[in-house]
Structure formats: structure tokens, C-alpha cells
Structure 1
Amino acid sequence: MLKGNGENDKVSQLRVSDNQIGFVEPIADILKNLSPAVHGHVIQLDKNIIGFFLIDTSYSSNYEFCETGSIGLRSFFIDHRYQGHGFGKQVTQLLRDYLAPNYPNNHSVYLTVNCKNPAAKHCYEQGGFVDTQELYHGGDFGPQHILKLNLDETQR
């Protein structure tokens, strides 16, 4: 989770690659979403912050497709300097084990990924997310696939 001003300064320096602009907001805009219900999480490699994501605990209240008792994954990205090394795939594969104990009252995680971003969709699917076969049409950059990851041990 995001802690302290020094960490905030490092996070504020994160950037997406040019081909991801439009799929992920600039980090300054992402950080404006932090609240008691929306938690920032840093992705670290050794002592370097290489990425970031938000967990939205109120996601099911804001999106009809999200089941009650679920959380939302938003604004997930790896900094442009660390892309192309498989870190996104590694992190998505670790998400279930990271989120389940940190959000024990939630049984699943939902996210949307733009239909024009098949590489990101593939990355999430490699991490265990499943396409619900429904589309979300409320995004600013076109239709989005709705993906779900079960956190509950019995639903894996």
C-alpha cells in the first residue's frame, strides 16, 4: 500500500509508454482517486518502484457488472522503463495471493480492459482473470472487456 511522502514522490515519477496513453491515465490523475475506499498499491522490484495499481473497495457499488462482495482493480501499469521484461505478467500471477489476505471480506476482483488493448487482456488472463464475455461501454476510450479473478480458494 502507498505510504509516506517519499514513496509518493517516487510514484509520481512513474509513466506509461506512449502506446498506452489513453488506456491508463497519467499518474497525477490516478493519485487523485485515492480515498478511504480506493487504495494505492506500489509494485516493487528490489527497492525500485516499477508500477502501480488501485484497489477500489466500492467498485461493486459503482458498476452493475461487479458482484457484491467484490473489489475492483484499476489503473494497473508497469513504468515504461520496466516494460518488456515480463513484470506485468509476474505481478498479475501474484495478485490473487496478494489480494486475498489483504481483502479477506471480498471473494473476487473485477477489472475492465479496453478492447483495443489485447496485450493487456492477455496479461490479465495469464494471471488467472477470466473474460466474463460481457463488454462495458462506459469508458472514455471505447468498449472494454470485463474480467474477473476469484479470490476464494473454493472457486479457483
Structure 2
Amino acid sequence: METRLVPYETLTAAQQQQLSALEVHPEQLPWCGDIYCALNSLLVNPSPGIKGFALLADEIPVAFLLLKRPPCLPHWADEHSATLHALQVDHRHQGLGLGKACLQALPIAARLVWPQIKALELSVDSANVTAMGLYLHAGWVDRGEAYKSTTAYERRLALALG
């Protein structure tokens, strides 16, 4: 299976329609949201501070994520970073290493959009053990608590860009 991470705006109309059918497992919704909300935040009020990316597997969208920069950067993030949000892998394609593929391709994709950024950051609920493992295994570094969520403390992770 050949994968590549592409900006949302480069998707064909057919790929955009396929992406809109992306679904995560119901228990993942509190952590990553659904594709409707992610696309809504990208498309309803377009901003140069938010970019969407789709992971294509053999040209079919199987995952999606958002990156944010000022003025959309969360309060806990460093101003020289971009933050990762709403990483979603379609439930029919989970367990195939596609989340890892997104994270591996992300630094290059992010620097193509915003060459000035120094790091990528994200926050993850400490109870989301699977996501924490994925990020830490991919080289992200735990920088400490970002803020208290409704269920636990969010951990702030960072990936320096060289």
C-alpha cells in the first residue's frame, strides 16, 4: 500500500466525498472528534492559520488531521510551532500503521506550508494510552501538562523540526 500525506485543497471532488465518509470508533470520538467537525473548522471560516491534510492510501483518503498556527494556535502552544489536532484514521483501516504514516510524513508537510516553524506540538489526554504510545514511539517528547480537561490532564508533546 502506497501512502502520502496531501493538503486537503489538493484532493479531487471524489476524494473529498470519500473523506467525508471517514469514521472513527465511537470510543475515539471524545479524543479526536469526527470528520464533520474537523472539516467544519477547516472550511466554514477559512484562515491561513489552519490547514487540513489527508492521508491517501493508494489514492483513497483513509486519515485526516489539522494543523494550526496563529491566529488559531492554542494558548498552551509555543508561537514558533504548529499544533496537531483531530488526527483521525478511518476505523476500517486502523491497525495498518496509518497513524504512524501520518506522523512520519507530517514534519515535511508542515514545513512546506509554514517553513518558519521550529516544532510541532499537540495535547493528548493522559488516559488515551494508545495515542500517547503512538506519539512517543514516533519521537514526540512529553513537555508536561498543557491543561486540565474534563476527565484528566492533557499532556503537551512536542517534536522539534531540524
Aligned with 1:43 (options 47, 50, 55)? 55
Secondary structure (helix, strand or coil) at the match of 2:127 reads: coil
1:10 to 18, 23, 27: 18
Q: Secondary structure at the match of 1:22?
A: helix
Q: Distance in 2 between matches of 1:140 and 1:29?
A: 19
Q: In structure 1, what is the equivalent of residue 81 of structure 2? A: 70
Counterpart of 2:4? none
Structure 1 Cα separation of the partners of residues 73 and 93 of structure 2: 34
SS at match of 1:109: strand
Unaligned 5+ runs, structure 2: 1-6
Give the superposed CA RMSD.
1.9
Could you tell me the TM-score, scaled by structure 2's length? 0.83
Change in 2 beyond 3 A, CA 1:124/1:59: farther
State the distance in 2 between where 1:27 and 1:84 align: 19
Question: Secondary structure of 2:51's match?
Answer: strand
Give distance in 1, aligned partners of 2:103 and 2:137. 7
SS of the equivalent of 2:31 reads: coil
2:31 is matched with 23
Structure 1 unpaired stretches of 5+: none
Is the 1:53–1:74 contact (alpha carbons within 8 Å) kept by the matching residues of 2? yes
Note the alpha carbon deviations across 1:24-60, whole angstroms, 9 max, x for none.
2111111111122211110111111110000111277
**1:142: Cα distance to partner?**
3.6
CA separation in 1, counterparts of 2:78 and 2:119? 8
- 3-state SS, counterpart of residue 8 of structure 2: coil
Helix, strand or coil at the partner of 1:85? coil
Q: CA deviation at 1:94?
A: 2.6
Task: State the match for 2:69 in structure 1.
Answer: 57
Q: Distance in 1 between matches of 2:74 and 2:107?
A: 22
> Which deviates more, 76-85 or 1-10?
1-10
Deviations 1:42-84 (A, max 9, x none): 0111111110000111277531x31111111100111101101
Task: Note the C-alpha offset of 1:100.
Answer: 2.3
Aligned length: 150
Q: Which has the higher contact order (CA 8 A, sep 6+)?
A: 2
Residue 136 of structure 2 is matched in structure 1 by 125
Using the aligned pairs only, state the percent identity: 25
